[in-house]
Structure 1
């Protein structure tokens, strides 16, 4: 292959015309730059599609259009593959090359890395990676060696090595070597894999020594690394740290029972796990079984394991990680949600100071969270993981704020003030269920609050102001604590209020104004004197009429938005859904 000098460049406008008295070398440089800029456009999917072949990625069947004449002239690897490929079955049909079968490690290569390496073959220039593909979403990260940056170079190395571009392999190997010195322990693991697959022995040796002196426990390394690499790491640890408990089996029988539990989890057999626990003194905590299931098992297996109710979901393993930390490294939303629902703390930190949300954010590319979704396209798992953790942090923060209020309660007056705040929250839900029973039911299902005991009986308004005159402030504190926990379960209040304001903005304004300006005694229509009841009923009728008018406005706005969106769409399907997406709250 004709070798080009590697240089780095950023997207730039077309080169200016050469000066009148330019030298021959300057003219050649300008001509080459123009040629490179023009050829680079061929890889842009928005440019004229004149590709006669496609390289299909393993991820969701994405494909990158390429031009056989260019690649064959620039690369012996592609020349051999295109020459050996059977001619297209039909005129105009594109040749398709599956990347996972084309090169070793092809299943790990993403679109951004593939385009970068192909761009080098097209232009002779290596572009800097796009920020959204090589930068994480954690604002506190310096992005020098966060996981997206490492992953981009790892994927590029797989591609460059597979396509036999030696100069790029050397460049990427130097970059990965720099990463090893500053990356987090677990972020060295993908570098181990690419070094092993691409037979980069010097890089692999550097990785092995870095991992050997890390705090990563043996079980994690045994699962994550190739067998021969793990054996070398274990040998180094045994020589360097002969007295470490992680390297010496204190009780072979205990170790055997732990292994049996983990094997049962590998087989998705929770019943067998339960039986093994009953037959021996080994516990789920002894085996770090929750950690193992969070990292490697199906979500339903972890959910069943947690039902045994015999494990500490906040237990830290030998590396100082909780099961939630392991789940965040895996980025599986169902696993994270199951642990949070069982009481896993989002506040716990790893020895290097990262909490669960930070772990997720530093593994997640900007593109995964900020990508503009197409119609009916689902959010990425990384986005959902971050969303679950952020909601849980808000819930915890809300509870802690209320605890600080409770701790400051010293008089019945302060207890009553706190009590009234809770009643106001309950009343917001109560009024929504009065005026919009169907919509409220749907919203509460989304908020996962329909099964909460406090909400299940909330239409029984007589319970809202129950007061026991014999209650002490301490007893009242406990009762308010229980109600607060119910109200904040799974972020129910936040979800109900946010969704209500999104879909019924005018109605929400009416209810907000009423709840802020008037007594909430209006819902107790059957209490007070006959005159009081008559006044209440009149005011309730007025409120209901105001809400009805506001609801009419909401429907009109939704209809207009739906019509506008459907008329601008090339397809008629999903019109109503698109209309609601364009509906903006009035507040």
Structure 2
């Protein structure tokens, strides 16, 4: 006999008024956050324009929300002139709106504005604070530091004290853990935003670092550099055995500041000081235009792998600057991409840890060229490949290939294909094509004329033997293959 059982389930607990209020506030917060999405730009009644150096563009905002949430915006918006035309939205230039505004990018601005809209600080997109180095833990790499630095400029400028305190604590942690040169942007934000405790911490850290005095003199405000010199007790004066020598070095660097390479040449001839003695290649890699730098390399047989007092080669300095033409000039002169800094970083690691993953992996618009940071990484990777490059050989000798028309045609078709790819790249990606052609030394080889006239494929130049001609074509094929143009 079956026995039926009846189970009684208790009703779900009723939500308390406090729970309902929390759910409602969270939904309201999420909906307000959406207003900062670019898709809602047409719904905004004002714009905050980013500096061109930070990617340009604008973030749509709503004056009523900002004025209600921030005394800074209430005062600023109240002082704006009436729009010239009906429906015209006021445009606030971020570079003029707050101190340090030209350093603030969209990825830092939107979360800070989002805090005013929602009362919550949204975490940044991961690719905005992650560098290109897979071996990095991304806790204190440059993109992570730059994000907090930009956020501090925004929070301090908008007078959001609770956010400024939060970001100041994060920056203080960075000062203790970051690389020496990565403390410099923290010094700038601490000085601009008048964060004395943070500034003093930075000064103490940099004073005991191996950073070159000339670098600090160029990069930091005079008053801050003077404080660092006092703590260091001016060690540079202690090693100056010849004041006249030091004067000549300073004259060379001043000539470089004026981009006067001819004057540098005269100064070198008039004294026994060399470019290596003045660390002039390091200085030019950091501060000179690429054309000036290339001319400087022609003056003297400088050691492009020389390390300065901080353990950096000129290539390391160029990688910190992320200037592809200077990196390429150094590589062409024999700079070793495998040289390491005192803390074990090579040139490629330096470049990757300065570069956001987002900047290299973002989808480009049609015919848009890749960023300088991407090109720097590409040049260094190409150079590493070039050193280990072995072209897949055509499994016949030069004499055999000349005697076998079918294989000659195959060789020529490969060369035509590469020449056409190069021509395409030069049209649509001129900067990148120019750089990879230089690094593969393809410009030193003769362009294959067959790309425009197929009937000329089997023509023989009477001034050279068939073996010489085939060797010339093989050199061109090797050079074009090294460029990686098939991958562009």
The TM-score with structure 2 as length reference comes to: 0.84
Q: Deviations over 1:515-557 (max 9, x none)?
A: xxxxxxxxxxxxxxxxxxxxxxxxxxxxxxxxxxxxxxxxxxx
1:201 matched to which residue of 2? 196
Q: Which residue of structure 1 aligns with residue 87 of structure 2?
A: 92
Q: C-alpha displacement at 1:226, in angstroms? A: 1.1
Tell me the CA shift for residue 285 of structure 1: 0.7
CA shift at 1:396, angstroms? 1.4
Q: 2:129 touches 2:356 (CA, 8 Å); kept in 1? A: yes
Task: Give distance in 2, aligned partners of 1:372 and 1:437.
Answer: 25
* Match in the other structure for 1:498: 486
Deviations 1:405-454 (A, max 9, x none): xxxxxxxxxxx999959x99x97995148767973873798535554358
CA apart distance, 1:337: 1.3
Q: 3-state SS of the aligned residue for 1:64?
A: strand
1:441 to 1:358, Cα distance in 2 relative to 1, 3 A: closer
Are residues 1:273 and 2:264 paired? yes
Q: Which has the higher contact order (CA 8 A, sep 6+)?
A: 2
What pairs with 1:256-405 in structure 2 (closer than 5 Å)?
256-398=247-389
Distance 1:322 1:348 in 2: 8
1:57 matched to 2:50: yes
The CA RMSD over aligned residues, in Å, is: 3.2
Residue 9 (structure 2) pairs with residue 21 (structure 1): no
- Work out whether residues 311 and 341 of structure 2, in 8 Å CA contact, stay in contact via their aligned partners in 1: yes
Superposition pairs for residues 219-238 of structure 1, below 5 Å? 219-238=214-233
Matched residue SS, 2:278:
coil
Give the match for residue 188 of structure 1: 183
Q: Deviations over 1:65-89 (max 9, x none)?
A: 1000000000000000000000111
Is the 1:270–1:305 contact (alpha carbons within 8 Å) kept by the matching residues of 2?
yes
Determine the C-alpha separation between the residues in 1 that align with 2:105 and 2:206.
26
Aligned twin of 1:38: 31
Partners of 1:444 and 1:450 within 8 A in 2: no
The structural deviation recorded for 1:494 is 2.9
Q: Structure 2: which 5+ residue stretches go unaligned?
A: 1-11, 402-406, 427-432, 450-459
8 Å CA contact retained: 1:137, 1:365: yes
Cα distance, 1:378 vs. partner? 1.9
Counterpart Cα distance in 1 of 2:304 and 2:477? 21
Shift of 1:26: 1.4
Aligned: 1:134 with 2:134:
no
2:142 corresponds to: 147
Q: CA, structure 1 residues 163+436, in 2 after alignment: closer, same or farther (shift >3 Å)?
A: closer
User: Cα 1:456–1:195, aligned 2, differ >3 Å: closer, same or farther?
Assistant: same
C-alpha distance in 1 between matches for 2:317 and 2:33: 41
What SS does structure 2 have at the residue aligned with 1:47? helix
Task: Give the counterpart of 2:207 among 206, 209, 212.
Answer: 212
Match of 1:166 in 2: 161
The aligned residue for residue 519 of structure 1 is: none
SS across alignment from 1:43? coil
Matched ranges for 1:113-124 at <5 A: 113-124=108-119
Q: 2:103 aligns with which of 89, 108, 132?
A: 108
Cα offsets for 1:314-358 (capped at 9, x unmatched)? 111111101110010001111111111121111111111111110
Offset from partner CA, 1:67-125 (integer Å, 9 cap, x none):
00000000000000000000111011110111111111111111110001000000000
SS in structure 2 of the partner of residue 145 of structure 1: coil
Query: 1:385 Cα shift?
Result: 0.8
After superposition, the C-alpha distances for 1:139-189 in whole angstroms (9 at most, x for unaligned) are 000001000000000000000000000000000000011111111110011
Is the contact made by 2:442 and 2:480 (CA closer than 8 Å) also made in structure 1? no
Partners in 1 of 2:37 and 2:360 — Cα distance? 23
Unaligned runs of 5+ in 1: 1-18, 403-415, 467-481, 503-587
Q: Does the residue aligned with 1:136 lie in a helix, a strand or coil?
A: coil
Alpha carbons of structure 1 residues 438 and 388: separation in structure 2 relative to 1, 3 Å: closer
Structure 1 residues 162 and 488: CA distance shift in structure 2, 3 A: farther
Are the aligned partners of 2:416 and 2:448 in contact in 1 as well (CA < 8 Å)? Answer: no
